[in-house]
Amino acid sequence: MAFYDKGLRALAVALCLLVAGYAAEARAQDPSFLTISGGYFDFNRQKNTAAEVGIQWRGSEKLWIFQPIVGAMGTSDISGNIYAGISLDIFFGNRLVLRPSFAPGLYTKGSKGHDLGHVIEFRSGGEIAYRFDDRSRLGLEVYHLSNARLGNKNPGEESIVLTYSIPLTGR
């Protein structure tokens, strides 16, 4: 599992650096977004599956090539995660957007949720989205939660969620 965590992070960093030049500056002027999501928690191993809902703010500000994100999610098993981190919009034409992201956060398993081994969990993922004329986006995101061996155990989990991003300003 340690190889998987390191490999996933290395792949995300490499992807960000390799295609950073492709994210055209004209498209980088998208507004901030409020993103809502819903999907399937622990879809990959299916040991502690649950329904999942989330909300996320995606800033338009740039931190070098990255944009800030802040979010929260909860599951039908009363688990929850709040996080803050970075993402990068990579445009393929005017419609297709690939968005890798990384965010450390705080996780609680609640009363009957999945024990991920530590309160600190790292969220790394990727989204592919369609961008509409009004700049709203409909996407599919897959992400992984892991404590990077901070705890005695590190089972991790993967989620798949449908996302809808609403522009917060009209440009």
Q: What is the pLDDT of residues 72-123, one digit of tens each?
A: 999 999 999 999 999 999 999 999 999 999 999 999 998 888 889 899 999 9
Residues 6+ apart with CB under 8 A from 171: 29, 30, 31, 135
Q: What is the pLDDT of residues 45-57, one digit of tens each?
A: 878 899 999 999 9
Q: What is the pLDDT of residues 94-106, one digit of tens each?
A: 999 999 999 999 9
**Domain span at 66:** 2-167
Report pLDDT for 48.
84
Q: Output the domain CATH number for residue 142.
A: 2.40.160.20
pTM of the model: 0.82
Q: What is the pLDDT of residues 4-37, one digit of tens each?
A: 556 656 656 655 554 444 444 445 578 999 999 9
Domain count, the chain: 1
